[in-house]
Amino acid sequence: MTSKKDLILETALKLFAQNGFSATSTSKIAKAAGVSEGLIFRHFENKEGLLHAILEMGRIKGMALFEGVTNFQKPEDQLKYILQIPFNIRKDELPFWKLLYALKWQSDNYDEEPSNQLKPIVIAIFSQLEYPKPELEAEFVLMLFDGMATAVLLKKIKKSKAIEDLILNKYNIHD
Amino acid sequence: MTSKKDLILETALKLFAQNGFSATSTSKIAKAAGVSEGLIFRHFENKEGLLHAILEMGRIKGMALFEGVTNFQKPEDQLKYILQIPFNIRKDELPFWKLLYALKWQSDNYDEEPSNQLKPIVIAIFSQLEYPKPELEAEFVLMLFDGMATAVLLKKIKKSKAIEDLILNKYNIHD
DNA sequence: TACATTTGTAAGTGATTACTCACTTTTTTA
DNA sequence: TAAAAAAGTGAGTAATCACTTACAAATGTA
């Protein structure tokens, strides 16, 4: 049985991802979750607190994703894993990632972008692969990563697998 | 002398880009522009109308940018021109592009994304360059384009010129 | 069981929201 | 120059905003 606190969290996440933070009122969240509006403030102090709870909840889930790279030894496999991340986002976690990517366009406060955590990892990979300028190549990959994630989250992609293969080919990684 | 209508337009653009559409009230716009709030509604009917006027104003400015590709004959030069667009955004047009990119995360209504207009052009280029799968390669370039634009608009880029050269090199285009 | 704590609600609060209206000032046109 | 049209204002409007408060129900603990 999910507690009402979790119910509020999940409902708010969906609505924030769908309509944006500012455009989603606490009364709408309460109504959608089937709880009284006051309960939101009992559990989360204020609307910002609710957002931070969602972000924290998701950040932990997200960390695990990036740590998955340690399952691979060879830098080629690690790079492959990272490049495939955007295409392997779980459907039920889509709202969270959409919210995260949308938030970075609103004020600088919410810039917990995946790329930030990912950067040192990617630099290390290109160093091992003996690229002449690992930092630069990493910056490029993260830009590409952003573009891929955007395409997936906004459902702009038709042949997901074909695009995935094309990208892997560019770095000479194959299935 | 700029008319008060244009003044409202420019002020709203800045505020929308800075804080988002929903988080920017008409009263704030009026105050920032130094006009009465009622004037906004005389000129633009409602808040949505104001947004649409901004989008239309910018769309025309943006079209010119994409048509610049016709100044080049060789497909290599055309591709180079397109890949450089995100790095050549004029400072005074930054708020507009930021707003445009932010809006596509809020509801599907505002998806006048640059990529959409750019896609057929890029496909044509890769066809001329005799790439085996022009549509796929175009889709890739547009994803990359999105990532580049995001990096530039959110000021996540340090060595802009270095990154620019790296990308051009990947497509065997040099200065 | 008794009492303390947590969880939950309903009805508020003042402030702010998008928008309207009655009116004046400025500009255009005949 | 006189009338018409357009531009602009300031004080409203009801609705909604984030948030509070007083109180009741449920739960934990001795």
Identify nearest nucleotide to residue B48 by CA to C1′ distance: C18
For CA atoms B92, A136, A168, A73, the dihedral sign is negative
Q: What is the pLDDT of residue B159?
A: 74
- Please list, residue by residue across A33-64, b when 16 or more beta carbons sit within 10 angstroms of its beta carbon and e when fewer do: bebeeeebeebbeebeebbebbbeebeeebee
Angle separating helix axes B4-19 and B37-44, nearest 10 degrees: 100
Determine if strand D comes within 7 Å of the CB of A37. yes
Which amino acid type is present at position B24? T
A58 — pLDDT class (breaks 50, 70, 90): confident
How open is the CA angle A107-A113-A115, to the nearest 5 degrees?
Answer: 140
Alpha helices by DSSP H, chain B: 4-19, 26-33, 37-44, 47-67, 75-84, 94-103, 114-128, 134-153, 160-170
Contact indicator for B81, B121 with CB cutoff of 8 Å = no
B154 vs A contacts (CB less than 8 Å): 104-105
Handedness of CA B137, B138, B139, B143 (dihedral sign): positive
Q: What is the pLDDT of residues B50-69, one digit of tens each?
A: 999 999 988 888 888 888 99
CB atoms within 10 A of CB A2: 8
HSE-CB of B39 using CA atoms within 13 angstroms: 14
C1'-nearest nucleotide to the CA of A43: C7
| Residue B134 touches partner A, C-beta closer than 8 Å | no
Residues whose CB is less than 8 angstroms from the CB of residue B164 and which lie 6 or more positions away in sequence, other chains included: B83, B84, B87
Which among A133, A146, A163 is the nearest to B147, CB-wise? A146
Q: Which fold has domain B3-170?
A: Tetracycline Repressor; domain 2 (1.10.357)
For the CA of A25 and the C1' of D29, the distance in angstroms is: 38
Please give the model's pTM, rounded to 2 decimal places: 0.92
The set of residues, in sequence order, having a beta carbon less than 8 Å from that of A104 and lying 6+ positions away, is A110, A111, A113, B154
* Residue A136 CB neighbour total at 10 angstroms: 18
pLDDT in the model for residue B108: 66
Instruction: Using a CB–CB cutoff of 8 Å, tell me whether A94 touches chain B.
Output: no
CA A174 to chain centre: 25
Domain spans of chain B, in order of start? 3-170
B154 has a chain A CB within 8 A of its CB: yes
Residue window 34-93, chain A: list those with CB within 8 Å of chain B. none
The pLDDT of residue B1 is above 60: no
Q: Which residue is nearest to nucleotide C8 (CA to C1')?
A: A39
**Mean pLDDT within B124-147:** 96
Measure, in angstroms, how far nucleotide D24 C1' is from residue A46 CA.
23
For chain A, what's the residue count?
A: 175
pLDDT of residue A155: 82
Does the C-beta of A19 come within 7 A of strand D? no
Percent of chain B with pLDDT over 70: 96
Question: What are the distances in angstroms from CA A130 to CA A124, A170, B28, B90, B170?
Answer: 10, 16, 53, 36, 17
Question: Which of B26, B22, B21, B24 minimizes the C-alpha distance to B44?
Answer: B26
**Rounded (10°) angle between helices B114-128 and B134-153:** 140
Q: Write the DSSP assignment of A63-96 as a string of letters.
A: HHHHHGGGG--SHHHHHHHHHHGGGG--GGGHHH
> pLDDT tens, A84-142?
999 999 999 999 999 999 999 987 666 667 777 899 999 999 999 999 999 999 999 99
CB-based contact, B162 to chain A, within 8 Å:
yes
Q: Is the pLDDT of residue A1 over 60?
A: no
pLDDT at B107 over 80: no
With vertex at residue B124, the alpha carbon angle to CA B122 and CA B130, rounded to the nearest 5 degrees, is 105
